[in-house]
Structure 1
Amino acid sequence: MARKPVAREAVLDAFESLLIEEGERAATLDAVAKLAGVSKGGLLYHFPNKEAMISVLLERLDRLLADDLAAMAAAAEGAAAYFIKSSVWADTPLDRAFVAATRLAEVAHQETLRRMAAAQAGWLELLAADVGPAMAKPVLYMGDGLYFNAMLARGPGGPLPAVGPDVDGLLAALGRLRG
């Protein structure tokens, strides 16, 4: 299989970074090209428009989510514990793709909203199999709350907050939910 051109990945990474740091409006073709260190023509060679970049970013997100769902399904501690433990901003490729996609969802990008709903459905299915349908959404909300609060507490470029006690508290709550 042929390797993807380095410039193409640099452009996609730049697009993702601009979405995360500045939002959808700031992620113009010119801004992406500048951040990626390529000419606008070089960007257009790989991505003829912004929608093409969004499409490839969503494909990246789908791949990363599929890997995460597989790991969640196989987790020895159960899907719910895995979900809570992994619901911490760690600047991973999945974190970055997910947050970039949320910035697209904020502006009601329809395909992004569809993909985010599918991701949530996948998590809920695994959580329901682990803790039952009635508790799946509460566990989802535990993980989501942990994730977004940790991300917001970090601030732009700041250090990752210590969330170990929060994770431990949520795992203890999960244990009580399981009875």
Structure 2
Amino acid sequence: MLTEHGKRENILTAYLNLLSHQGTRAATLEAVSSACNLSKAGVLHHFPNMQALRQGIFTELKAQASAEVEQMTADLPRAAEYYLVSSLSRDNLLERLIDAVYRLAQTGDADALGLLRSCRDDWYGALLLATGNEALAKLVLFAGDGLNHNALLSLDEANESFVGPATATQMLALVRQLQQTPTANA
């Protein structure tokens, strides 16, 4: 759920969906106003320009990513499991926000790229606390990213067997095994 409510939430949701599903070229003020059934003036009343809409998406990503990091750090023994399993989900709010901000970063938006790096660093920090090992924390982070990418490849596949909950469970078992290895903790 977005932190904004009412018309601001509807506008941000329209912008988010346009960015994540159709890309930056499709996410025009006209398209946003049409998608949320407001006039352009109505959209501009709540967000005075496209920069304000972009900043609204950034604020939402920061809030959602921070909530996820808090959840991970509140239960460190299960943080790696949480990260891997949650990486299987492709159509939740956090993933749509990440996709939207990636789209903005791909246009050369330095602020979008900086935000994505900041989120990555926060997830890595939580995984580092959970695993106690820099390489292992990065391995979990990269494995989660790979699961997420492959989940995207499997969205419309009814009988997908390559990636799923069992895959995350297998990876988690390997992470736990590596945590127990003396060289992994050195």
With structure 2 as the length reference, what TM-score do the two structures score? 0.86
CA distance in structure 1 between the partners assigned to 2:50 and 2:4 by the alignment: 19
CA distance in structure 2 between the partners assigned to 1:143 and 1:4 by the alignment: 28
Determine if the alignment matches structure 1 residue 147 to structure 2 residue 148: yes
Identity rate of aligned residues, in percent?
32
Greater shift in the superposed pair: 69-78 or 3-12: 3-12
Asked if 2 retains the 8 angstrom alpha-carbon contact of 1:89 and 1:160, the reply is no
Asked if 2 retains the 8 angstrom alpha-carbon contact of 1:29 and 1:50, the reply is yes
Query: RMSD between aligned alpha carbons?
Result: 2.1
User: What is the SS of the residue equivalent to 2:154?
Assistant: helix
User: What is the SS of the residue equivalent to 1:38?
Assistant: coil
CA distance in structure 2 between the partners assigned to 1:123 and 1:41 by the alignment: 39
Match of 1:96 in 2: 96
Moved over 6 A (4+): none
Match of 1:31 in 2: 31
CA distance in structure 1 between the partners assigned to 2:26 and 2:90 by the alignment: 24
- CA separation of 1:110/1:10 partners in 2, compared to 1, >3 Å: closer, same or farther? same
Matches within 5 A, 1:78-93: 78-93=78-93
Q: Write the letter of the residue equivalent to 1:108.
A: G
Match of 2:126 in 1: 126
Q: Write the letter of the residue equivalent to 1:66.
A: S
Match of 2:52 in 1: 52
For residues 98-121 of structure 1, the C-alpha deviation after alignment (integer angstroms, 9 at most, x for no partner) is 221111122121111111111111
- CA separation of 1:159/1:22 partners in 2, compared to 1, >3 Å: closer, same or farther? farther
Q: Write the letter of the residue equivalent to 1:146.
A: L
CA distance in structure 2 between the partners assigned to 1:78 and 1:68 by the alignment: 13
Q: Write the letter of the residue equivalent to 1:49.
A: N
Asked if 2 retains the 8 angstrom alpha-carbon contact of 1:75 and 1:82, the reply is no
Aligned residues: 175
CA distance in structure 2 between the partners assigned to 1:66 and 1:53 by the alignment: 20
Deviation of 1:5 (Å): 5.9
Asked if 1 retains the 8 angstrom alpha-carbon contact of 2:76 and 2:129, the reply is no
Structure 1 gap ranges (5+) = none
CA distance in structure 1 between the partners assigned to 2:8 and 2:49 by the alignment: 13
Deviation of 1:63 (Å): 0.8
Asked if 2 retains the 8 angstrom alpha-carbon contact of 1:127 and 1:136, the reply is yes
Match of 2:165 in 1: 164
CA distance in structure 2 between the partners assigned to 1:159 and 1:42 by the alignment: 41
User: What is the SS of the residue equivalent to 1:64?
Assistant: helix
CA distance in structure 2 between the partners assigned to 1:110 and 1:16 by the alignment: 18
Asked if 2 retains the 8 angstrom alpha-carbon contact of 1:73 and 1:126, the reply is yes
User: What is the SS of the residue equivalent to 1:13?
Assistant: helix
CA distance in structure 2 between the partners assigned to 1:160 and 1:100 by the alignment: 28
User: What is the SS of the residue equivalent to 1:77?
Assistant: helix
Q: Write the letter of the residue equivalent to 1:175.
A: R
Deviation of 1:160 (Å): 10
CA distance in structure 1 between the partners assigned to 2:135 and 2:11 by the alignment: 43
- CA separation of 1:166/1:17 partners in 2, compared to 1, >3 Å: closer, same or farther? same
